[in-house]
Amino acid sequence: MLVLGIESSCDETGLALYDTERGLLAHALYSQVAMHAEYGGVVPELASRDHIRRAIPLLEQVFAESGIAHDAIDAIAYTQGPGLAGALLVGASVACGLGLALDKPVLGIHHLEGHLLSPLLASEPPEFPFIALLVSGGHTQLMRVDGVGQYTMLGETLDDAAGEAFDKSAKLLGLGYPGGPAISRMAQFGDPTAYKLPRPMLHSKNLDFSFSGLKTAVLTVVKNQTTNICEQDKANIARAFVDAIVEVLTAKCVTALKHTGLKRLVIAGGVGANQQLRESLNAAAVKKHFKVFYPELEFCTDNGAMIAFAGAMRLQINPDAAKKDYAFNVKPRWPLDSISTI
């Protein structure tokens, strides 16, 4: 089964071709980071317009690279939600328009399910069941995953997601956008003893998260500086922030594994590329005797490959999931644990 995947939920336009027998045949991605950096964050209208410009050239690129004819595909999977409404509509309209033109069925995919299943694209994929930490700019969730479409929410953030806290704290330090990679790089040069920031909900009796207070703590430290913050002070604050957020994420993952009795942990989403988080989880895995799985670095951010793959997995379970119904809608808000294989 050959599936074309289209991702356009936020500020990356991604297209890919995935074959259930041959694997990933081609994928192409365009990031809008440089454009949004001028504004310190994603501007939804600009994002939508740029998806319109990029989608068709990227579509032609993946077909050219794979050597596959357009009409050779069996189905088209597109990100139906969650995400920015205008951005989602671009991908949905391209998918349904192409489906109509080629007489191929289409299938709406949950963006987070794409992230959740992306580690299965790796050379050593995890087996079900496993615990998954979905950690990105807009989401921080712990899920029990028993199979495709079989997701049980264990805990989630009550306010800012981890990625949001990274970006907002980086902005407070004048590090620009996107803030996550910048603050992580600066943290490498920081003194871990210079500042001590809170670990929100570290000792709570549940698996929920809260990162708004951590961002506020960074703001307080910055405001308490009587002079301009030097680069070393920025590095020290960055180190304290990263240490705090990594400790909380690691502790919650370990607790989730302990409570469920599972021994496999999957990390998905953009923050899953964070070096400090990976080091902490790898150390915990050795100490607590579990195995941790990550997507390839190129698939941590939004991409079409994860949507094509998720679509293929769903169609293998239920071939009737894709329809030749081209009247589309999008779901900017869409709880992951509300979807199923039906």
Segment 15-63, tens digit of pLDDT: 999 999 999 999 999 999 999 999 888 999 999 999 999 999 999 999 9
Q: What is the pLDDT of residues 230-280, one digit of tens each?
A: 999 999 999 999 999 999 999 999 999 999 999 999 999 989 999 999 999
Determine the Cα–Cα distance for residues 312 and 318; give it in Å rounded to an integer: 10
Alpha helices in the chain (DSSP H): 33-37, 44-66, 85-102, 111-117, 162-172, 179-187, 212-223, 231-260, 275-288, 304-317
Domain ranges of the chain: 2-117+299-338, 128-294
The contacts found for 282-290 with CB under 8 angstroms, 24 or more apart, are: 284/250, 284/253, 284/254, 288/254, 288/257, 288/258, 289/263, 290/257, 290/262, 290/263, 290/264, 290/265
Is residue 108 over pLDDT 80? yes
For Cα atoms 57, 5, 99, give the angle at the middle one, nearest 5 degrees. Answer: 80
Distances, alpha carbon 51 to alpha carbons 88, 127, 274, 278, in Å: 9, 34, 26, 31
State the pLDDT confidence band at 177, using cuts at 50, 70 and 90.
Answer: confident
- CATH fold of 128-294: Nucleotidyltransferase; domain 5 (3.30.420)
CB 296 within 8 A of CB 122: yes
Place of tokens 């698996």: 207
For Cα atoms 332, 167, 306, give the angle at the middle one, nearest 5 degrees. Answer: 50
State the pLDDT confidence band at 338, using cuts at 50, 70 and 90.
Answer: confident
pLDDT of 75: 98
Q: Is the pTM of this model over 0.85?
A: yes
pLDDT of 341: 60
Distances, alpha carbon 52 to alpha carbons 19, 89, 156, 181, in Å: 26, 10, 33, 27
State the pLDDT confidence band at 342, using cuts at 50, 70 and 90.
Answer: low
Q: Give the chain's radius of gyration (CA, Å).
A: 20
Class of 2-117+299-338 in CATH: alpha beta
